[in-house]
């Protein structure tokens, strides 16, 4: 007999013994299940209702404005245009 068969036979024997005991003590098993269930219900107020914490999405929005027709390649990689600001042009406001 291999070691896995011996392990399986041992687990099977323990299961049969536990099942035989449980069927012989039905009232005690039902009482134990009820106590465990009521104990779990008693813990509900301590658990709360939120299973997932509030998430911090850490998002921000950047809006860049450029003159119409400006190609993306003409803007610098840091978001600043490659041209000097026109003093006659009003500064971009919040939009």
Mean pLDDT of 44-68: 76
E strands, the chain, are none
pLDDT at 6: 93
pLDDT for 39-55, tens place per residue? 999 988 887 676 677 77
Q: In terms of pLDDT, which residue wins out, 52 or 37? A: 37
Mean pLDDT of 15-43: 96
Interatomic CA distance for residues 34 and 28, integer angstroms: 10
pLDDT at 70: 74
Q: Give, in order, the Cα–Cα distances in Å from 61 to each of 13, 73, 82.
A: 65, 21, 22
Mean pLDDT of 55-74: 75
Interatomic CA distance for residues 3 and 11, integer angstroms: 12
pLDDT higher than threshold 90 for residue 81: no
pLDDT higher than threshold 80 for residue 63: no
pLDDT at 1: 80
């Amino acid at each position: 007999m291999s070691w896995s068969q011996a392990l399986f036979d041992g687990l099977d024997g323990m299961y049969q013994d536990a099942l035989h005991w449980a069927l012989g003590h039905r009232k005690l098993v039902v009482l134990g299940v009820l106590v465990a269930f009521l104990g779990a219900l008693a813990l509900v107020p301590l658990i709360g209702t939120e299973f997932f914490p509030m998430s911090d999405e850490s998002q921000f929005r950047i809006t860049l404005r450029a003159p119409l027709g400006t190609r993306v390649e003409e803007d610098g990689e840091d978001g600043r245009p490659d041209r000097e600001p026109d003093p006659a042009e009003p500064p971009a406001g919040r939009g």
